[in-house]
Amino acid sequence: MVGIDPIGARVAALGLAYDADKNQLHVFREYSGSRETTEGHVLNIRELFKNDRVIAWVGGGRPNVKRA
């Protein structure tokens, strides 16, 4: 699985692998970039994980929460 944080000055992505025997997640690859267009980040992340069997791409971002 790849988790992506697309918000802010830096875009980050982590490759996570699940070990069912130990019930653990392991980070096996990471991406951190700035000064890149959105398309550039997408191309870089896809290239980084092109040889992996990715079963899910998960994105994060700012929650849509109203504050008083």
3-state helix, strand, coil in the chain (%, to 5): 15, 40, 45
pLDDT for the residue numbered 67:
62
Which pLDDT band, with edges at 50, 70 and 90, does 7 fall under?
confident
Residue type, 63: P
**pLDDT for position 63:** 64
Please report the pLDDT score of residue 26 as a whole number: 97
Quote the pLDDT of residue 65. 64
Q: Sort 8 into a burial class: Cβ within 10 Å, 0-12 / 13-18 / 19+.
A: exposed
Task: Read off the pLDDT of residues 16-54 as tens digits, 9 standing for 90 and up.
Answer: 999 999 999 999 999 999 888 889 999 999 999 999 999
